[in-house]
A and B are shown apart, each in its own frame.
Chain A
Amino acid sequence: MIHRHLISTSISSSSPSAFLGQDHLCNLRRRIVLHRVKKSWICKCSAKPSADKTAYKTKVSRNENMGKLQAGYLFPEIKRRRAAHMLKFPDAQVISLGIGDITEPIPEVIASAMAKRSKSLATIKGYSGYGAEQGEKLLRATIASTFYANLGIGEHDVFISDGAKNDISRLQVLFGSDVTVAVQDPSYPAYVDSGVIMGQTGRYQNNVGYGNIEYMKCSPDNDFFPDLSSVSRADVIFFCSPNNPTGSAASRNQLTQLVQFAKDNGSIIIYDSAYALYMSDDSPKSIFEIPGAKEVAIEISSFSKYAGFTGVRLGWTVVPKELQFSDGFPVAKDFNRIVCTCFNGASNIAQAGGLACLSPEGLEAMQEVIGFYKENTHIIIETFKSLGFNVYGGKNAPYVWVHFPGQNSWDLFEEILEKTHVVTIPGSGFGPGGEGFIRVSAFGHRANVLEACKRFKELYK
Chain B
Amino acid sequence: MVIALQISSRELEHTKKYPNEKVISLGIGDTTEPLPEVITSAMSDFTLALSTHEGYRGYGAEQGNKTLRKAIAETFYRDLAVNDTEVFVSDGAQCDISRLQAYIDSSVIIGQAGDFQDGTGKYQNIEYMECGPQNHFFPDLSKTPKTDVIFFCSPHNPTGHAASREQLEHLVEFARENGSIIVYDSAYAAYITDGSPRSIYEIPGAKEVAIEVSSFSKLAGFTGVRLGWTVVPHELLFSNGFPVINDFNRIVCTCFNGASNVAQAGGLACLSPEGYKAMLSVVGYYMENANILVDTFASLGLKVYGGVNAPYVWVHFPGSSSWDRFNEILEKTHIITVPGSGFGPCGEEFIRVSAFGRRESVLEASARLKDTFLP
Query: Which parts of A74-119 form the interface with B (CB within 8 Å)?
Result: 75-76, 99, 101-108, 110-112, 114-116, 118-119
B31 shortest CB reach to chain A, Å: 5
A12 shortest CB reach to chain B, Å: 5
Indicate if the CB atoms of A107 and B254 lie closer than 8 Å.
Answer: no
B54 shortest CB reach to chain A, Å: 9
Tell me, yes or no, whether A176 is within 8 Å of chain B by CB.
yes
Residues of A with C-beta under 8 A to B209: 56, 58
Indicate if the CB atoms of B110 and A173 lie closer than 8 Å.
Answer: yes
| Set A106, A165, A311, A341: member contacting B256, Cβ < 8 A | A165
Residues of A with C-beta under 8 A to B255: 165-166, 168-169, 190, 194, 197
Given A13-B63, A122-B34, A349-B43, decide whether A166 and B98 contact each other with a Cβ distance below 8 A.
no
Query: Which parts of B97-131 form the interface with A (CB within 8 Å)?
Result: 98, 105-106, 109-111
Indicate if the CB atoms of A118 and B262 lie closer than 8 Å.
Answer: yes
Q: How many Å lie between the Cα of A343 and that of B99 in the bound state?
A: 10
| Set B53, B251, B260: member contacting A197, Cβ < 8 A | B251
Residues of B with C-beta under 8 A to A459: none
Q: How many Å lie between the Cα of A115 and that of B262 in the bound state?
A: 10
Tell me, yes or no, whether A121 is within 8 Å of chain B by CB.
yes
Residues of B with C-beta under 8 A to A313: 91, 257-261
Indicate if the CB atoms of A105 and B56 lie closer than 8 Å.
Answer: yes
Tell me how many residues of B have a C-beta within 8 Å of chain A: 90
Indicate if the CB atoms of A342 and B109 lie closer than 8 Å.
Answer: yes
Indicate if the CB atoms of A118 and B47 lie closer than 8 Å.
Answer: yes
Interface string of B230-270 (1 = CB under 8 A from A): 00001111111111011101111111111111110010000
Interface string of B184-214 (1 = CB under 8 A from A): 0000000000000000000000001100000
Indicate if the CB atoms of A118 and B40 lie closer than 8 Å.
Answer: yes
Q: How many Å lie between the Cα of A322 and that of B239 in the bound state?
A: 45
Indicate if the CB atoms of B261 and A122 lie closer than 8 Å.
Answer: no
Tell me how many residues of A have a C-beta within 8 Å of chain B: 89
Tell me, yes or no, whether B226 is within 8 Å of chain A by CB.
yes
Tell me, yes or no, whether B36 is within 8 Å of chain A by CB.
yes
Residues of A with C-beta under 8 A to B263: 347, 349
Indicate if the CB atoms of B50 and A308 lie closer than 8 Å.
Answer: yes
Indicate if the CB atoms of B44 and A346 lie closer than 8 Å.
Answer: no
Indicate if the CB atoms of B241 and A55 lie closer than 8 Å.
Answer: yes
| Set B51, B55, B148, B256: member contacting A60, Cβ < 8 A | B148
B279 shortest CB reach to chain A, Å: 13
Tell me, yes or no, whether B178 is within 8 Å of chain A by CB.
yes
Indicate if the CB atoms of B256 and A312 lie closer than 8 Å.
Answer: no
Indicate if the CB atoms of A341 and B105 lie closer than 8 Å.
Answer: yes
Indicate if the CB atoms of A310 and B59 lie closer than 8 Å.
Answer: yes
Closest-by-CB residue of A relative to B178 is A59
Tell me, yes or no, whether A149 is within 8 Å of chain B by CB.
no
| Set A11, A47, A50, A166: member contacting B257, Cβ < 8 A | A166
Q: How many Å lie between the Cα of A247 and that of B234 in the bound state?
A: 40
Q: How many Å lie between the Cα of A309 and that of B15 in the bound state?
A: 38
Indicate if the CB atoms of B262 and A50 lie closer than 8 Å.
Answer: no
Tell me, yes or no, whether A177 is within 8 Å of chain B by CB.
yes
Closest-by-CB residue of A relative to B92 is A344
Indicate if the CB atoms of B254 and A311 lie closer than 8 Å.
Answer: no
Given A58-B209, A101-B58, decide whether A115 and B249 contact each other with a Cβ distance below 8 A.
no
Indicate if the CB atoms of B223 and A129 lie closer than 8 Å.
Answer: yes
Tell me, yes or no, whether B28 is within 8 Å of chain A by CB.
yes
Residues of B with C-beta under 8 A to A104: 56
Residues of B with C-beta under 8 A to A76: 62, 253
Indicate if the CB atoms of A349 and B225 lie closer than 8 Å.
Answer: yes
Query: Which parts of B171-187 form the interface with A (CB within 8 Å)?
Result: 175-176, 178-181
Query: Which parts of B36-54 form the interface with A (CB within 8 Å)?
Result: 36-37, 39-41, 43-45, 47-48, 50-53
Tell me, yes or no, whether B149 is within 8 Å of chain A by CB.
yes
**19 A-B pairs with C-beta separation under 8 A:** A11-B250, A13-B249, A14-B61, A50-B241, A55-B235, A56-B235, A60-B180, A61-B240, A69-B250, A73-B254, A111-B51, A112-B48, A114-B47, A120-B40, A124-B34, A190-B254, A311-B60, A340-B2, A346-B226
Binding site for B on A (CB under 8 A): 9-14, 24-26, 45, 47-50, 55-63, 66, 69, 72-73, 75-76, 99, 101-108, 110-112, 114-116, 118-124, 126-131, 162-163, 165-166, 168-169, 173, 176-177, 190, 193-194, 197, 308, 310-313, 337-338, 340-350, 353
